[in-house]
Amino acid sequence: MTAPHWLSATEIAQAYAAKTLSPVELVNTLLARIEVLDPKLNAFIRLDAQAALQAAHQAESEISAGRSRGPLHGVPIGIKDIIDVVGLPTTAHSKILVDNIARADAVVIQKLRAAGAIILGKLSTHEFAIGGPSFDLPFPPARNPWNRDHHPGGSSSGSGAGLASGMFPLALGTDTGGSVRNPASACGIVGLKPTYGLVSRRGVFPLSFTLDHVGPMTRTVADNALLLDVIAGHDPADPGSAASSSRGFGALLGRGVRDLRIGFVRHFHERDMPAHPEVAAALEDVARVLQAEGAQVHTVTLPALTEFSGINRVILCSEAWSIHQKWLRERPGDYGKLARRRLLPGAFMTAGDYVGAQRRRGELIAAVEDLFRDYDILLCASSMDPSSRMDDAAETARTYPRQARSPFNVTGHPALAMMSGLSHAGLPMSVQFVGRYFDDATVLRVAAAYEKATGWHKKRPPIG
């Protein structure tokens, strides 16, 4: 039998129905595992064990009475600490907000509770979702379960580390330049940045109003679709929310990829930003697997990766400065070094820089949209390298920007990162699948076919 801490959300629901597992048993098992592993991995900022156990007892009594609140009834989840959970601090991993108690649940938390999910607590992040693996903050940085000496990606770092180590089956992250997909890449899990506007951001501390997304993070593609089904939906009080009727994100998971047209953006990792040879070889293997499964894979071209990255940086820094300028002027020393360094360039962006970036953004969106006239899915790199050592600041600074995730924050298309293999050093490598607007279901369909054909999701890190 699969150990309870490695069960997927789908398997947990089945075990509850078969009465081979109860919510209280599962939560106690996870709390015991967290007690052992979290001092080594620092996935949690705030573990809310008492509230989780109370929720588990309530879920168990409802199951006994034949009632269910929804598809996540009794399923535990971890929450990135820029998302409000009523009564708990939303610190953004920063001294600036260390005493900031949430007065209400974020919309995504409301949806999770309505579906029956159990909130385990708040998870580590890079400071304000923009810093990096930092040791000058109120809480230690999360570590990679595949090798504790390496970082787990970010900024949704605790979400990635906790999922990969079996502390919880589901997590929420946020993604402004790749912060769901980076930990998915570094930790060997599944992270989806949904279509922009598909998931409400109300109650989430902003980094960049026109780039921010909330996304599901899981160990399996089916769980990712399940979690997206719960958190998606129009929110008229979020100015970026889309009035989309998209639902049933798992409906296509079993259909395979036969006859799908896939555009492989090779120049991102071959010419624009040459990837580590093992990462490049793994991407070629992904293309071969999908072809063997019946997909048509062709090389395609987009504007240079550096163009997308530059536009992302101008927009992000400009919008982030508008949020942080008061604190940066009055309390600069209360920021960690990395976050302060990454936020300050916004002070020097002009209105012309911002407007020019937004105009070029429209042209980049048009270039991607043009490809989707002929292709169902785009295939490209996520990270260009496996994660670096935590104690090697220079190597982390060099490799962290070496990624192809930010283009799809600029354009808003749905993009998923997942494991494509293990390096010779035993660290996860990754691939990214990108889809048409509000066609997140096809992105998940391709990811499910790749997952089934390779079985990388069954690999476990050598911890605990």
Catalytic residues: 80, 155, 179
Closest by Cα among 359, 277, 374 to 314: 359
Please report how many Cα atoms fall inside a 13 Å half-sphere around the Cα of residue 289, on the Cβ side.
22
Q: What's the rounded Cα separation, in Å, for the pair 193 and 305?
A: 18
Give the three-class secondary structure for 454: helix
Six-digit token string for 329: 């002027």
Other beta carbons within 10 Å of 265: 24
The DSSP secondary structure of 80-132, one letter per residue, reads ETTB--TTSB--TTSGGGTT-B-SS--HHHHHHHHTT-EEEEEE--SGGGTS-
Q: For residues 232 and 240, what is the distance between their CA atoms, to the nearest angstrom?
A: 13
* Neighbour-count burial of 310, counting CB atoms closer than 10 A to its CB (0-12 exposed, 13-18 middle, 19+ buried): middle
The alpha carbon dihedral of 182, 283, 163, 215 has a sign of positive
- The whole-angstrom separation of Cα 381 and Cα 376 is 17
